[in-house]
Amino acid sequence: MKCNQLAFDTYSQMMRKACLVNEYATNQTSKRIPPPKSWQELIHYLECACLLD
């Protein structure tokens, strides 16, 4: 039971962080600031995490 709760809490936090990343990206894009070079790597890891869902 503890493992299920931990998984749920972790997933919930990941979803909240994803919203923050989206807000940040939208804000930076509106300022015409180019994405960092490591941005594609971050997107790749987030996509991999979503595949585990």
Q: What angle do CA 42, 46, 51 make, to 5 degrees?
A: 150
3-class secondary structure, 1: coil
3-state DSSP: the chain helix, strand, coil percent, rounded to 5? 80, 0, 20
Q: What pTM did the predictor assign? A: 0.61
Tokens of 47: 């996509």
The rounded Cα 32 to chain-centroid distance in angstroms is: 21
For the stretch 43-53, pLDDT in tens is 888 778 776 55
For the stretch 21-47, pLDDT in tens is 889 889 999 999 988 888 888 888 877
